[in-house]
């Protein structure tokens, strides 16, 4: 059979029109690899081999384009290609080739991921490590890269987060404020002992807040209660807000 013409399609694919009416789709790299632009004679056995090889090219291209958007882990590539209904063997082949070419590298991925989380989020080292382990990155690789997130940096970030949270929650009692900020920092993945050390330095003027909250509650609850019952209701609400003494 002879290739009569080529027409370009999307994503680097070409349609090949054969003189017997057959139309096949091949990747441009595959056409160049086998010199099909020059040697335009082709047989059925060669076509079958080319179509098999073309499937591998498509899987590789999908993965490569996915990496171009941002750096990916091997697990992310596998999940992406699986969603695209690519055969497992072809996924393995694509991952192996991309790794060999240097596009997939656990150490580089881990370093980039940690850098982004440090400068683009409030995440602490424990949360970052958890996220990386979920990507099936080797724990030793993760620990080595996380050495940049040392104790001094962690304390610095904890202090900044505390300062911001204190301003946001300025109407909270000291007890509630410390509890709220501690939980927030724990969820972000900061070490408990460092969080507790810094949170214990938070001080609030609970007396002024107590008076302010008392007046608000009095105005609200005095419409429904009076006397000792009113006082009990107010004290109960204040207790819930973390005010234990007048």
Question: Are 166 and 232 contained in the same domain?
Answer: yes
**E strands, the chain, where?**
3-8, 13-18, 23-27
Question: Are 70 and 145 contained in the same domain?
Answer: no
pLDDT exceeds cutoff 60 at 18: yes
* Confidence band, pLDDT 50/70/90 cuts, at residue 210: low
Both structure tokens of 128? 């970052």
Q: What is the pTM of this model?
A: 0.72
Question: Among 6-10, 28-32, 210-214, where is mean pLDDT lowest?
Answer: 210-214
pLDDT exceeds cutoff 60 at 206: no
Contact 62, 73 (CB under 8 A): no
User: Which of residues 84, 100, 116 is at a domain's end?
Assistant: 100
Is 245 within the bounds of a domain? no
- Compute how many other C-beta atoms are within 10 angstroms of the C-beta atom of residue 1: 16
Question: Are 27 and 92 contained in the same domain?
Answer: yes
Report how many domains make up the chain. 3
Give the CATH number of the domain where residue 16 resides.
1.10.10.10
Q: Which residues pair with 17 in a beta bridge?
A: 5, 23
Question: Are 110 and 159 contained in the same domain?
Answer: no
Is 134 within the bounds of a domain? yes
Range(s) of the domain holding residue 140 = 106-149
Q: Which residues pair with 162 in a beta bridge?
A: none
Question: Are 143 and 190 contained in the same domain?
Answer: no
The confidence score (pLDDT) of residue 245 equals: 56
pLDDT exceeds cutoff 90 at 150: yes
Cα–Cα dist 92/147, whole Å:
31
Rg of the Cα trace of the chain? Answer: 32
For 224: left if phi > 0, alpha if psi spans -120 to 50, otherwise beta; the answer is: alpha
Residues 6+ positions from 101 with CB-CB distance below 8 Å: none
Q: Cα dihedral sign for 82, 84, 87, 89?
A: negative
The confidence score (pLDDT) of residue 130 equals: 97
What would the DSSP string read from start to end of 77-138?
Answer: HHHHHHHTT--HHHHHHHHHHHHHTTS--HHHHHHHHHHHHHHH----HHHHHHHHHHTT--
Residue 48's H or E segment, with its range, is: helix 44-69
Average pLDDT over residues 150-177: 89
């Amino acid at each position: 059979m002879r290739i009569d013409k080529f027409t370009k399609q999307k994503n680097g694919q070409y349609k090949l029109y054969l003189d017997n009416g057959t139309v096949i789709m091949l990747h441009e790299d595959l056409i160049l690899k086998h010199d099909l632009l020059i040697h335009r004679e082709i047989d059925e056995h060669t076509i079958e081999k080319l179509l098999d090889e073309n499937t591998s090219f498509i899987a590789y291209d999908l993965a490569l384009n996915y990496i171009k958007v941002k750096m990916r882990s091997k697990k992310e590539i596998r999940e992406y290609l699986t969603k695209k209904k690519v055969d497992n063997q072809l996924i393995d082949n694509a991952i192996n080739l991309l790794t060999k070419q240097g596009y997939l590298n656990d150490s580089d991925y881990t370093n980039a991921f940690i850098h982004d989380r440090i400068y683009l989020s409030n995440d602490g080292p424990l949360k970052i490590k958890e996220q990386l382990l979920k990507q099936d990155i080797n724990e030793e690789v993760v620990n080595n890269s996380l050495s940049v997130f040392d104790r001094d940096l962690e304390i610095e970030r904890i202090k900044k987060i505390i300062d911001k949270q204190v301003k946001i929650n300025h109407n909270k009692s000291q007890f509630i404020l410390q509890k709220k900020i501690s939980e927030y920092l724990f969820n972000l993945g900061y070490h408990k002992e460092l969080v507790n050390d810094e949170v214990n330095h938070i001080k609030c003027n609970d007396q002024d807040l107590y008076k302010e909250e008392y007046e608000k509650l009095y105005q609200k609850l005095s419409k429904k209660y009076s006397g000792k019952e009113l006082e009990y209701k107010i004290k109960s609400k204040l207790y819930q807000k973390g005010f234990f003494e007048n």
